[in-house]
């Protein structure tokens, strides 16, 4: 049985159309299953992994809670041994009354120097005063559970 050019062309066209349809539907299903779409310009996702895409047909999903943060500022960066330094800052994501630890780095590990609580108010602030008696550069930070402030370096003479 001989097949004509017209029949072979029709079969090839049908097979190509079927392949294209299958690839298109598979790609659409893969994109619909992944709520975090990649950003081709940066190679990263356009949404943060901690946020959920809330769709109208899924009313029970809630966005992820923002992570807590702590800022720190010292009133002096150069002091004489035995002088007091006041550390102040703000917190986000923490409640009033929660415990904050002022920690000092001794070269091997972080050790708690003082403990203070978050004050009630619109900005959720804290303030802690401590005397620094060592000599040299002292590194200090404020910690709450897994939330850590940036490190502040104080020079003690």
pLDDT tens digits, one per residue of 103-155: 999 999 999 999 999 998 878 999 999 999 989 999 999 999 999 999 999 99
CB 45 within 8 A of CB 37: yes
- pLDDT given at position 67: 83
Whether the pLDDT of residue 30 is over 60: the answer is no
In order, the DSSP letters of 36-82 are: S-EETTTTEESS-TT-----TT-TT--PPPPPPEE--EES-SEE-TT
Could you give the residue ranges of the DSSP H alpha helices within the chain? 5-33
Which of these, 66, 91, 108, 109, lies nearest to 100 by C-alpha position? 91
CB 96 within 8 A of CB 53: no
d(CA 137, CA 78): 9
Q: Structure pTM?
A: 0.59
């Amino acid at each position: 049985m001989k097949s004509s050019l017209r029949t072979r062309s029709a079969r090839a066209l049908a097979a190509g159309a079927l392949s294209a349809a299958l690839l298109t539907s598979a790609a659409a299903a893969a994109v619909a299953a992944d709520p975090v779409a990649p950003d081709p310009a940066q190679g990263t996702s356009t949404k943060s992994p901690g946020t959920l895409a809330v769709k109208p047909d899924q009313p029970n999903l809630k966005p992820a809670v923002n992570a807590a943060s702590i800022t720190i500022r010292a009133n002096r960066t150069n002091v004489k041994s035995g002088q007091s330094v006041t550390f102040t800052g703000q917190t986000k994501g923490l409640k009033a009354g929660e415990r904050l630890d002022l920690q000092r780095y001794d070269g091997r590990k972080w050790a708690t120097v003082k403990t203070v609580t978050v004050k009630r108010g619109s900005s959720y602030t804290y303030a802690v005063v401590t005397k620094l008696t060592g000599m040299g550069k002292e590194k200090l930070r404020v910690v709450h559970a897994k939330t850590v402030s940036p490190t502040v370096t104080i020079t003690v003479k």
